[in-house]
């Protein structure tokens, strides 16, 4: 059994969870890994990967619209839950991987905050297309990803190289989602105001697009700030000790 890493004394804004919750989360790492893998599978299904029901095309909804070359950058939330599942699993197995840790940290903050943001801003549209229980599930499950992000500092040193890799990954994701799609139209998660056009692409109403883009960019900057600040605070804590 992997022993819990020591809890460093860090400012509340980089380590906001109470110690008992951090310890509980780390002790429950394997169940959390399984929950996140289930969430990943559901997320891919939500975006349109439908091996079941058999009556559906294998690739439908957003996967069915987006070019295959950009599929990696479409299912943002499922990728984030996959990253945190792998990060926790590798730590439990004694094979800690800092690059995966940072992808998980950025992913859980990015999607854990952006999704509730757009759900709240565009709530009328979402509630027209989504049942109340599903809306609540999406809102709460994504906020729980933020909680998971703040477990990572316990077993990660937040190295600059790994932070830089995560910034490049999520920075590029923001670029193709909102600014330079490379192929087709921007690849962000479909929002209620969007419609499928006759040419097979989604439209992107300017007002909706700008709000979603602003939220994503601000949260990416916030995640970068928190990652770098966590590293600095951890180094300063060790010097004091």
User: Is there a contact between 228 and 92 (Cβ–Cβ < 8 Å)?
Assistant: no
Judge contact between 148 and 35, C-beta under 8 A. Answer: no
Q: What pTM does this model have?
A: 0.94
**By the 8 A CB rule, do 2 and 33 touch?**
no
CA 211 to chain centre: 18
User: Mind giving me the DSSP string for 164-197?
Assistant: HHHHHHHHHHHIIIII--SSSS--SPP-TT--B-
Nearest to 168 by CA among 117, 102, 111: 102
pLDDT values of the chain reduced to their tens digit, one per residue, 241 residues: 558 998 988 999 999 999 999 999 999 999 999 999 999 999 999 998 888 877 888 888 888 888 899 999 999 999 999 999 999 999 999 999 999 999 999 999 999 999 999 999 999 888 887 888 999 999 999 999 999 999 999 999 999 999 999 999 999 999 999 999 999 888 999 888 877 775 677 788 888 999 999 999 999 999 999 999 999 999 988 776 5
- Which residues have C-beta within 8 Å of that of residue 91, sequence separation ≥ 6? 2, 29, 101, 155
Task: Report the alpha-carbon angle 216-171-86, nearest 5.
Answer: 90
Collapse the DSSP code of 49 into the 3-class scheme (helix H, G, I; strand E, B; otherwise coil) and give the result: strand
Strand partners, 196: 202
Report the distance separating Cα 167 and Cα 172, nearest Å. Answer: 8
């Amino acid at each position: 059994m992997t022993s819990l890493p020591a809890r460093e004394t860090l400012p509340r804004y980089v380590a906001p969870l109470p110690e008992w919750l951090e310890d509980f989360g780390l002790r429950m790492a394997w169940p959390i890994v399984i929950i996140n893998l289930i969430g990943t599978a559901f997320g891919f299904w939500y975006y349109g990967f439908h091996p079941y029901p058999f009556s559906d095309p294998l690739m439908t909804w957003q996967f069915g619209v987006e070019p295959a070359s950009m599929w990696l950058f479409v299912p943002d939330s499922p990728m984030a839950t996959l990253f945190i599942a792998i990060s926790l699993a590798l730590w439990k197995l004694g094979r800690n991987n800092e690059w995966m840790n940072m992808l998980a940290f950025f992913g859980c903050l990015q999607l854990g905050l952006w999704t509730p943001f757009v759900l709240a801003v565009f709530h009328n549209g979402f509630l027209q297309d989504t049942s109340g229980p599903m809306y609540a599930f999406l809102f709460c499950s994504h906020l729980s990803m933020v909680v998971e992000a703040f477990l990572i500092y316990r077993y990660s040193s937040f190295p600059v190289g790994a932070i830089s890799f995560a910034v490049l990954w999520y920075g590029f994701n923001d670029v193709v989602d909102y600014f330079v799609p490379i192929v087709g139209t921007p690849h962000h998660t479909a929002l209620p105001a969007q419609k499928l056009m006759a040419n097979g692409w989604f439209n992107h109403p300017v007002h909706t697009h700008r709000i979603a883009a602003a939220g994503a960019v601000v949260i990416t900057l916030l995640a970068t700030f928190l990652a770098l600040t966590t590293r600095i605070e951890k180094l300063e804590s060790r010097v004091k000790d």
